[in-house]
Structure 1
Amino acid sequence: MPQFFLNKKLIVLLVSIIILVALIGFSLREREQLSWPEQFLKDSTGLIQQVFHTPAQFVAGVLENLRDLQNTYEENQKLKARLDEYVKLKTEVQNLEKENAELREILDKKDSLREFSPIQATVIGRNPDRWHEMITINKGSIHGVKKNMAVITSKGLIGKVKYSNQFTSSVQLLSAMDPKNRISAKIQGEKDVFGLIEGYDKEKQMLLLKRIPYNEKIKKGSNVITSGLGGIFPAGLLIGKVEKTVTDQYGLTQTAYVKPFADFYDISNVMVANPKMEAAVSEDKKQTEGEGS
């Protein structure tokens, strides 16, 4: 009996192998149409694949979009940082170009400064409460700066030294509302016309050149320069140009509105006009002190 069951199992195994080989051979044979079990199996497998593939593809797409969004955000952050650096660099370049142009203009102007020796200085402060009146420069009495010396930029006259400390000085601008702030000036033309710069019109942002004789003919656009008659400022410093003239209420004198060549709101580099005589005395003094030591 046991031998029978062993033979039976062997027979079942052999039959199964034969059926399997037959099925394999049948499936490998080229056919124009699949059998219905194969069709059912393939359709079932395809349906299952489609059911799981669509959500899986959607999830994969969402994750891919999230990764792209993250990458885009990081790239935007880097671009913003670079843009900030570019803006900062562009601002620094513009400032350097502007300062370089100002210094070049100052250096080019040295050849024409025959009446005084220039002391170059930089603006280091401006009081907001006295914005129209005072600036502070980084040169003082130790550098040869003295009270009442004229202060100019590459464009023209801006004011005079009000106070001179050891290492810094305070400069009173022409726009200061100080009745004592007077400058002897002249209007250039076929005939020079003299007057005094007295006052500043804040609304029009123009200097007032007063005490011009009523019968003088003043042309619009004429240049106004220092006359040198005041005994403080050297002659020939550019101040501005005439925009218009008005006659006083008594008809005895005229007042010219002068548009300054220099910009009182944008001052960085200046020169203090040290008269040649004082510069020569200062130089002799330094040489004497050097020989004595």
Structure 2
Amino acid sequence: MPSFFRRKILISILVAFIVIVTLIGFSMRDREEVTVPEQFILDTAGWVQTIFNTPIQWVNDSIETFQDVFRVYEQNEVLKGRLAEYEGLIVENQELEKENEELRGTIGKSEGLSEYSPVQATVIARSSERWFEQVTVNRGAEHGVEKDMAVITKDGLIGKVQSTAAFHSTVKLLSGFDISNKISSWVVREEGDNVFGLIEGYDEESGRLVLGGINLEAQLNEGDQVISSGLGGVFPSRLQIGSVDEVRNDEYGLTKTALIEPAANLYEINHVIIARRSEQTVDTGRAGDEES
């Protein structure tokens, strides 16, 4: 019980002190001078108030500072959200502009296929395991699409129709071509005659198309453009395929082989054109191993 009595005594002293200070305050209202005992009591009261008020003021200041920090944090989060939304709109706008540009390109390209009835299509599926081999588009037999029809983008040839369903088709990309899939081509020379060759595969190591069957005496230069010849009637003529990147003799030294940088992006494909053969187009058939 001693602690209880001590606490009670302290409280009594504090109450008495407050009462004395209050009485002194009332007694000083009409007097200009203060006695020494009154000065002592007033100073003591000031010190006591300072001792009690200092931590209280510190707590109040700390609370206000915390509230300010919290308000700044909330404002920062709101600004971050608006910034993310703004950045999202920028990206969306860029994607729309890119898509519009691609669509304008495919429309312009389709207008140039006078001998064929172009069918515009959109890529709807692409397997991650066969990313460089094939894509699926949203046009099929009901739209006049048939097997082996050429498929292009605004930049050039990307492949051919491998199979069709009623409303969808699978496109075999040039990067998935092998020796059994050949395209007769011309290397366009700035000087001299064009040089004939066959796109007969894809070199995975270099990411280039392989143009074989080139006359050993033919002179090719880096940067020469390669286009489809149109021989065989399967692929339209003058479709951009790519440009010569490297020329070398074949392993037997009988012909030359060139590595061709594809004109079209075979990695990112969204909108394509299928060169559908019209009734006026004469299919002259496939000549031997060309365009098989």
Instruction: Identify the TM-score tier after normalising by the shorter chain.
Output: 0.7 to 0.9
Question: TM-score by structure 1 length?
Answer: 0.80
Change (3 A) 1:24 1:102: closer
Partner residue of 1:222 out of 224, 239, 242: 224
Q: Is the Cα–Cα contact under 8 Å of residues 206 and 257 in structure 1 kept in the other structure? A: yes
Secondary structure, aligned partner of 2:60: helix
Mapping for residues 29-48 of structure 1, pairs under 5 Å: 35-48=35-48
Instruction: Provide the identity percentage.
Output: 46
- 1:250 is aligned, of 242, 249, 252, to 252
Name the CA distance, whole Å, in 1 between partners of 2:112 and 2:218: 29
Q: Which residue of 2 aligns with 1:13?
A: none
| Cα separation, 2, equivalents of 1:178 and 1:255 | 15
- Relative distance call for 1:21 and 1:215 in structure 2 (3 A) is closer
Q: 1:55 to 1:118 in 2, by over 3 A?
A: same
Task: Write the letter of the residue equivalent to 2:204.
Answer: K
> Residues 95, 278 of structure 1: CA spacing in aligned structure 2 closer, same or farther, 3 A cutoff?
farther
Deviation at 1:79, TM superposition (A): 3.3
- Paired position in structure 1 for 2:8: none
Partner in structure 1 of residue 287 of structure 2: none
Listed as ranges, the gaps of 5+ residues in structure 1 are 1-19, 281-293
Distance 1:252 1:21 in 2: 124
- Closer, same or farther: CA 156–23 of 1 in aligned 2, 3 Å: closer
Partner amino acid for 2:161?
V
- The equivalent of 1:74 in structure 2 is 74
Deviates more, 1:140-149 or 1:174-183: 174-183
Q: CA RMSD in A?
A: 2.3
What's 1:283 paired with?
A: none
How far residue 82 of structure 1 moved from its aligned partner, in angstroms, is: 2.9
Question: What's the TM-score once normalised by structure 2's chain length?
Answer: 0.81
Is the Cα–Cα contact under 8 Å of residues 115 and 235 in structure 1 kept in the other structure?
Answer: no
Give the superposition deviation at 1:251: 1.9
State the Cα distance separating 1:270 from its structure 2 match: 0.5
* Aligned residue runs from structure 1 range 116-265, under 5 A: 116-189=116-189, 190=191, 191-265=193-267
Aligned length: 256
Q: Going by fraction, where is helix more abundant, 1 or 2? A: 1
Distance 1:59 1:158 in 2: 72
Q: Per-residue deviation at 1:78? A: 2.7
Distance in 1, matches of 2:140 and 2:187, equals 32
Q: Which has the larger radius of gyration?
A: 1
Larger mean CA deviation between 69-78 and 228-237 belongs to 69-78
Q: What's 1:12 paired with?
A: none
Larger deviation: 269-278 or 52-61?
A: 269-278
Find the aligned partners of 1:165 and 1:124 in 2 and give their Cα distance: 14
**What's the CA shift for 1:158?**
0.2
Q: Which amino acid aligns with 2:165?
A: N
Q: Which residue of 2 aligns with 1:267?
A: 269
Rounded Cα–Cα distance in structure 1 between residues aligned with 2:72 and 2:209: 57
The letter of the residue matching 1:168 is: H
Residue 26 of structure 1 pairs with residue 31 of structure 2: yes
Following the alignment from structure 2 to structure 1, what is the Cα–Cα distance between the partners of residues 178 and 172? 9
Unaligned runs of 5+ in 2: 1-24, 283-292
**Gap change, CA 1:152 and 1:76, over 3 Å in 2:** same
Q: Which residue of 2 aligns with 1:284?
A: none
Partner of 1:26, secondary structure, is coil
